[in-house]
Structure formats: structure tokens, C-alpha cells
Amino acid sequence: MRKSNLRSLQILSALAFLYLLFLCLLGFPFLSPSSGGAGGGGATAGGGRGGGSMSSREDLDGKLSPVRPNRFLKSSPSPSAPRLRSSWLSGLRFAEFEPVNPDSSELHRAAKAAWSAGAALFSDLRNPAPPPPKRKANGTAKAEACPQLIVLSGADLARRRNVTVIPCGLTLGSHLTVVARPLPAHPGLDPRTTEGGEEPVMVSQFMMELQGLKTVDGEDPPRILHFNPRIRGDWSNRSVIEQNTCYRMQWGSPQRCEGWRSRADEETVDGLVKCEKWIRDDDNRSEESKTAWWLNRLIGRTKKVSFDWPYPFVEDKLFVLTLSAGLEGYHVNVDGRHVTSFPYRTGFVLEDATGFSLNGDLEVVSIFAASLPTSHPSYAPQKNLEMSAQWQAPPLPEGPVELFIGILSAGNHFAERMAVRKSWMSTIRKSSSLVARFFVALHGRKEVNIELKKEAKFFGDIVVVPYMDSYDLVVLKTIAICEYGLRIVSAKYVMKCDDDTFVRIDSVMEEVKKVPSERSLYVGNMNYYHKPLRTGKWAVTHEEWPEEDYPPYANGPGYVVSSDIAHFVLSEFEKHTLRLFKMEDVSMGMWVEQFNSTKHVEYIHSVKFCQFGCVDDYYTAHYQSPRQMLCMWDKLQQGRPQCCNMR
């Protein structure tokens, strides 16, 4: 009897063991985090099915915002099928993408380099190194990271190869003072100072520059301000001062001061003229004709007394130059007199001016920089971010949405994103048919990416496209917007705008609904028969764009496409047949034109999608500062869609 009971117990134990083993084998795939990796489901860069798996606790922690339940898990991945993944990371993948059009190969090489650099940055972001041990405050502690004052002698500057670092850039009211002496002229063949560049001429000139940090190895930093006095003149044979900007070896339009005061009808900078007058050799020092002089005497009009000043720089003579940052631009004073003002140019901000250089025929005595920011805005987002639950994004809707808005942003634009959340994005949070997300690439500074991750975790409205950010590669964010709008939220319409764009959602939707829902549409401020600029900041080479005209395209600050166009863009990208161009709005126009060849597209044009600034009763307003965003939102709440002119 006992043997029979023991036998039965052994059989039951074996059955229980087999049952538990069966449950483990059956349940493990559903418990594994590999069903929707942080990389966005589907094939990874290597193309394997399991490439999207989460392999670390950090990956599990990466699920920073609610993910919409995937109702299409049984279907194969397609451009229109949502994929379960961490919604803070874009599912766009650029690896293995080879250019189809040889004209775009340079852009593809830049994109691959940026994607590789972004992979390293993202790895650091997922697995941050432990912070260095804090030093004791015993007098040997490291100097303040953001000094308010910098003083250098000429010898100090020479040891630094004529470049000094301004760790946290400039801010409103910052100023740099240079005490120096121009060197005597010497024979030179500078093509900017000789018309043909063949005969040597006497040259005396120097260059003062505000520079940005390098973002990619082997690339020159952008010249945010290039100030170039040519004492012996240039091809004009007159002393001049030329100012400009340069990004990726592409110079903008120069601002030349040649001794004539700026015209009365020309725009000013903080109320100051761009160019002051100085005495010229060919100037008779009289701004009125003899006839006018006699007429004025006859009617008894008193002559206005004016002071004429010489050219501000003289060889072998000491000068004191002060460069100050105003609301609208940079101002240069020499020996206490205003000489020139240079307006800020789009794309360059004060905080980016982290380098100051002096080169040329100049003996520097000292440099004095004051009123510098004590903390970099990129490192101190807490000054701009309001960590309140009322600004957090709600969970994604269960069903398809009417409109998805992708907002292009830069990693360190904490203030801009916060202003959008507190203004027009409030409309999005109250609707179940609207979704908006910021699309941000990785920043060159690790500190910025760390703060960006914290921001994404708290607000849940940021999608990171994992490449090193670059203006020429903004087009990748646009494709990522299409991918998210189709696969994550199944949007009927997809809108793209910038983080300095104010959007009137109701007005945009009214424009969209003018077209029957079954038709394809492209809505925005359309440009027709625009030609590529071959010089200046927005210059495009013949290799980049060989055609004489651009296709019809909507200006980038705000436009809408129907989901079938977004589907076409994403499908062509994943088939490696999508032509890329560095200007993302022109790229979208090119893709829509290609789509239009097979299915008719309704082009809807309205100047109320403002390209420059704002007009009353706008649909979108561009170049709006955070203060303007909040001001416009207050007015809109009162039923007044009006502009705010303060910065």
C-alpha cells in the first residue's frame, strides 16, 4: 500500500513538473521585453527580427510616455501599420540607406556621419558614466564653469592661438572690449583686397569673429559674426568694414560700411544705423549742393552742424573697440563712438557664440569680456522648464486621430518648447483627435542630452531622432514626423511646424476641411517658380540642385499633408528610393510633386501661414519668441488672433 502511494506521489510530482515547464515555455515570449524594443519594432539597422529588443534595464526605463496599444501585432510591418515601441524614440532608421540619386550623395554622407555620431551619443545617454567625485572646497576646486568676466592679455591670447573660449556664450547686454593696435601695411595678394589677385598691394586688415562650437569633427565652426576692417581698402580702393556670417563654408550676404551713413529708409538695429559716416578721400565734406546752400541762406534756414569723423582704425595707432549684444543685433563702438551695427541672423543665437577670435595685422594689448551669463541655458533648463503636471502630454488616443503635428526643435531649446506647451499646445491636450510631439535630434553636448532625457521623461511629448543635430539634416526629422504620424497615431493629416511657430489649430483645420476627405492635399504658404540661391547663407550648388527652379513647395514654418502623401514619403524612404535635399520644405514639395504624378493633389495656398513674422488673423506665425508665444495665446483666449511685437 505504501509503495502504491509513493508511486502515485512520484507520478503526480512528474506531472506537476511537466506542467510548470509547459507554462514557462508558453509564457516566456509574452513576459520578455523583446516584443517592442526601444528602437521602434521591426528590423533594426542590421535587419534582424529581434533587433528591436530591450536588452537592459535602461531600455525598460526608456519607456518615458504612455504607448498606444498595438492593434496590429499580427500584421507584417508596413508604412501604415503602427509598431509597439517606446514612444520617446523615433522608429526612423537611416543605416544601410544608400543614395539613389548621385546628386544627393554628399548629403547622404553627412547623414551617415551624423547618424554614427548620434549612435555614440545615444549610447552615452542610455548608459551614462558615473559623475566625477566632488572636490572639497579647499581652494583647489575647479574654477566656475560659466565665468561672468574674462580678462586676457595679448600674450595670453597668442598662447591660445588667437582664440579664447567663452564657455556659456553671450547673453543680452554682454560686451567684449578689445585694446589693440593695427600693424603697418605689408604687400599682399588677398583676393578680397585685389581685383585680379595678380599684382601685390599694400594690405592692412584684421578679422574679429564670434564663433560657434564644432558639431562634427573636421568641420569649421560657424562664424556667427565676422567683423573685417580693411584699413588700406579692398577692390574699391577705399577703407571699408565688412561684416558677415558663415555656416559650413557658405558665406551670407555681406554688410559693407564704406564711409556713407545708412539710408534713412533702411532698417535700424536697436534704433542705431547699420553704418555710420566717416571722412572719405572723395568726399567734399558737404552733403548739400551749392544751389541748396544758397537757397537755405536766402530763406534764412540755419545750417545743421555735423561732425565728421575719420575712419576708426589707423595703422600703428591704439584703439579701444567694444562689441555689445543688443536686442536686435551686435553693436560696435570704437574709441567711444558708434561705428556699425549688425542685425542678428536667423539660425544663430547668442548662447552659440562660445568662441572669440582675433586674427590678421593686429597687435592685441588686452581683451575684456563682461556681463557674461553665469549659467548656460542648455545646462540650466530648470530656469525655463515648469515641471507641472498640467503641461504633461495625455496618453495617446486609442483610435486614429484627425491631425498629428510634428514640431521641429533643437536639443537646447528648452524655453521654446515650454512656451509652446503653455500656449497653443493647450488646445491639443484637450482634444482626443489631435496629437502633437516635438522632434529633436541629439545635441553635441552630453549635458544637453541628459537634460533633454529628463524633460522627455516628465512631459512625455518629445520624440528623439537619434542622429547628431545639423541644420542640413532637418529633412530627417520631417521623415520621422511622417513615420510617427502613420505608425503611432494613425493620423488622417500630418502637419509640420517649428518650435518658434504659433499655430491656430481651429483655423488650420478649417483650411484642411475645405478639401473633401477622400482627396490628397498639401496646405501652406506656397512658393511657385522659386529659383535656388547660388550665393549667400542659403546657397545651393549645382551639384546639390541642378534644376533651374524648385518644385512648388510650402514654406517650412507650417504646412499640412494628407496621410497618403506621408505614406508615400515613408514608403519611398524605406525602399531607399527617396531623394533627399538639405532644405526640408523644398524636399516635401519635391516629394508631393512626385506623388502628384500618379494621384492628383489639391494645393491650398494661404499667406496666413506666415513665413516671416506674423500678420493679424494668422493661421501660423513664425519667428515668435517665448514671450510672444504667451502674449499671442492670451490674446487668442480673448478671441483676438493678433500679433505681439515685443521680443
pLDDT tens for each residue of 485-536: 999 999 999 999 999 999 999 999 999 999 998 999 999 999 999 888 877 6
69, three cell numbers: 496599444
pLDDT band for position 554 (cuts 50, 70, 90): very high
CA–CA gap between residue 460 and residue 444 (Å, rounded): 22
pLDDT band for position 544 (cuts 50, 70, 90): confident
Can you give the pLDDT at residue 460? 93
Task: Report helix, strand or coil for 644.
Answer: coil
Q: Say which DSSP state 205 is in.
A: B
CA–CA gap between residue 644 and residue 623 (Å, rounded): 11
Can you give the pLDDT at residue 290? 58
Q: Say which DSSP state 481 is in.
A: H
Specify whether the CB–CB gap between 578 and 107 falls below 8 A.
no
- Distances in Å between the Cα of 89 and the Cα atoms of 403, 439, 441, 483, 575 are 20, 9, 10, 12, 21
Q: How many helices (H) and strands (E) does the chain have?
A: 13, 24
User: Which of 46-50, 325-329, 495-499 ranks highest by mean pLDDT?
Assistant: 495-499
CA–CA gap between residue 99 and residue 579 (Å, rounded): 7
**Model confidence, pTM:** 0.59
How is 441-469 classified by DSSP, letter by letter?
Answer: EEPSSHHHHHHHHHHHHHH--EEEEEEE-
pLDDT band for position 6 (cuts 50, 70, 90): low
Query: Which of 405-409, 411-415, 418-422 has the weakest average pLDDT?
Result: 411-415
Query: Which of 133-142, 339-348, 404-413, 546-555 has the weakest average pLDDT?
Result: 133-142
Question: How distant is the alpha carbon of residue 439 from its chain centre?
Answer: 11
Asked if the model's pLDDT at residue 174 lies above 80, the reply is yes
Can you give the pLDDT at residue 222? 81
CB atoms within 10 A of CB 386: 10
CATH class for the region spanning 150-370: mainly beta
546-580 burial: b if 16+ Cβ within 10 Å, else e: eeeebbbbbbbbbbbbbbbbbbbbbbbbbeeebeb
**Type of residue numbered 505:** I
Asked if the model's pLDDT at residue 132 lies above 70, the reply is no
Specify whether the CB–CB gap between 398 and 430 falls below 8 A.
no
Question: How distant is the alpha carbon of residue 585 from its chain centre?
Answer: 14
CB atoms within 10 A of CB 252: 20
Nearest to 489 by CA among 569, 400, 402, 403: 400
Residue 228 bridge partners (DSSP): 242
- Contacts of residue 423, Cβ cutoff 8 Å, sequence gap at least 6: 502, 629, 630, 632, 633
Nearest to 507 by CA among 606, 417, 439, 433: 606
Can you give the C-alpha Rg of the chain in angstroms?
A: 30
> How high is the mean pLDDT of the chain?
79
How is 217-252 classified by DSSP, letter by letter?
Answer: TT-PPPEEEEEEEETT--TTSS-EEEEEEEETTEE-
Q: For residue range 65-102, what is the model confidence (pLDDT) as tens digits?
A: 344 433 332 233 344 444 444 467 887 777 655 555 54
pLDDT band for position 208 (cuts 50, 70, 90): very high
Report the sign of the C-alpha dihedral through residues 554, 558, 560, 565, in that order: positive
Can you give the pLDDT at residue 128? 66
CA–CA gap between residue 11 and residue 34 (Å, rounded): 36
Measured at the CA of 603, the angle between CA 564 and CA 504, to 5 degrees, comes to: 85
Specify whether the CB–CB gap between 494 and 118 falls below 8 A.
no
Question: How distant is the alpha carbon of residue 69 from its chain centre?
Answer: 33
Specify whether the CB–CB gap between 495 and 482 falls below 8 A.
no
Q: For residue range 248-280, what is the model confidence (pLDDT) as tens digits?
A: 566 778 999 999 999 888 888 989 999 999 986
Residue 609 bridge partners (DSSP): 620
Pairing relationship of beta strands 255-257 and 240-247 according to DSSP bridges? antiparallel
Instruction: Over range 222-236, report the average pLDDT.
Output: 87
612, three cell numbers: 516671416
CA–CA gap between residue 194 and residue 174 (Å, rounded): 36
Residue with cell 562650437: 213
Instruction: Over range 19-47, report the average pLDDT.
Output: 39
User: How many residues are listed for the chain in this entry?
Assistant: 647
User: What CATH number is given for 102-125+379-637 in this structure?
Assistant: 3.90.550.50
Can you give the pLDDT at residue 347? 55
How is 260-310 classified by DSSP, letter by letter?
Answer: SPPPTTSPPBTTB-SB-----TT--S-SS-HHHHHHHHHHTPPPPP-----
Residue ranges of the domains in the chain? 102-125+379-637, 150-370
How many angstroms separate the most distant Cα atoms in the chain? Answer: 143
Higher pLDDT, 501 or 51: 501
Asked if the model's pLDDT at residue 327 lies above 50, the reply is yes
96-109 burial: b if 16+ Cβ within 10 Å, else e: ebebeeebbeebbe
- Work out the angle between the directed axes of helices 563-574 and 474-487 (0-180°, nearest 10): 120
CA–CA gap between residue 317 and residue 310 (Å, rounded): 13
pLDDT band for position 298 (cuts 50, 70, 90): confident
